[in-house]
Amino acid sequence: AAVSSLRQERVLPAELCRRLGVEAFVEGSVRREGDRILLHLRLVPGSSGLAVWAQSLDLPWRELGEVPPRGASWLARALDLPPEPGRVLGGSRDAEATAAFWEARYEFSLLNAGGIEKALALYGRAVQRDPGFASAHGGLANAELWQGLLSRKTADASLAASYRHALRALELDPACFEAHLALAFIHWLHDWDFAAAEGSFRRALEVAPRSAQAHAAYASYLFARGRSGEAIPHLASAEP
């Protein structure tokens, strides 16, 4: 998203990398054509502005859930990265559930009342299509949590729903970092159980060490607890 917004300004690759503080960036596109899903990725270094690696994938629409893990695997091999522990987001073989899940993640990232309402509906659709979709339950846990934080009228019911979906997500997948984050916020902001909150934040980072969302959430907790020295590295890791 950060790259896309800067590219719309017609920023040259070298300047884009300077602003982002990186040596290279990845561009990608996903589109549907009939009953097919097409993915294309390019790795572009700022020094030359020319792609040094590219990969395309053409899959049946019903296999949409394979796009995130395959894309991550390609990039890991291209960059010679060790495999990340835990799982890659996706998690459902139902294409409609996966599409609703990713759309919900975007709406939730807006962190406003309208976006959260849409995210709740989309995550709910994903869970309805695939009741065993752990990440969708984790997403629902976070969306319900923030709806409760933004609306006092629904706070109790939303927090109860958040807790329920978080536990269900962890039953399905103990490495569901979204569920660990939801529990961390509940322990912190509702229970005032800081030891339990700390444990849940750390667990989220253990299972998803490269998650910007997890680093940003833990940084907010550390700042609130007056531990700014510990928070700053996590804040830097949360930048796109």
Amino acid type, 28: G
Instruction: Tell me if residue 172 falls in helix, strand or coil.
Output: helix
This prediction's pTM: 0.67
Walk across the sheet containing 53-60 and list its strands: 24-33, 36-45, 53-60
Strand 24-33 and strand 53-60: pairing? unpaired
**Are 181 and 201 within 8 A, CB to CB?**
yes
Whole-angstrom Cα distance, residue 89 to residue 55? 20
User: What are the pLDDT digits (tens) for 204-217?
Assistant: 999 988 888 899 99
What distance in Å separates the CA atoms of residue 23 and residue 52, rounded to the nearest whole number?
Answer: 13
Q: Which of 167, 172, 185, 181 is nearest to 211 (CA)?
A: 181
Distance CA 162, CA 141 (A): 4
Q: What is the pLDDT along the chain (240 residues), one digit of tens a residue?
A: 444 455 456 667 777 777 777 777 777 777 778 777 777 777 777 776 666 667 777 777 766 666 666 666 666 666 665 544 434 444 787 878 888 888 898 889 888 888 999 999 999 999 999 999 999 999 999 999 999 888 776 788 999 999 999 999 999 999 999 999 999 999 999 899 999 999 999 999 999 888 888 999 999 999 999 999 999 998 877 655
Would you state the structure tokens that stand for residue 203, as one six-digit string?
Answer: 């667990």
86 φ/ψ angles, rounded to the nearest 5 degrees: 85, -150
Q: CA–CA distance from 122 to each of 90, 108, 128, 206, 213 (Å)? A: 14, 10, 10, 27, 19
The reported pLDDT for the residue numbered 32 is: 78
Per-residue pLDDT tens for 163-197?
999 999 999 999 999 999 999 999 999 899 999 99
d(CA 215, CA 238): 5
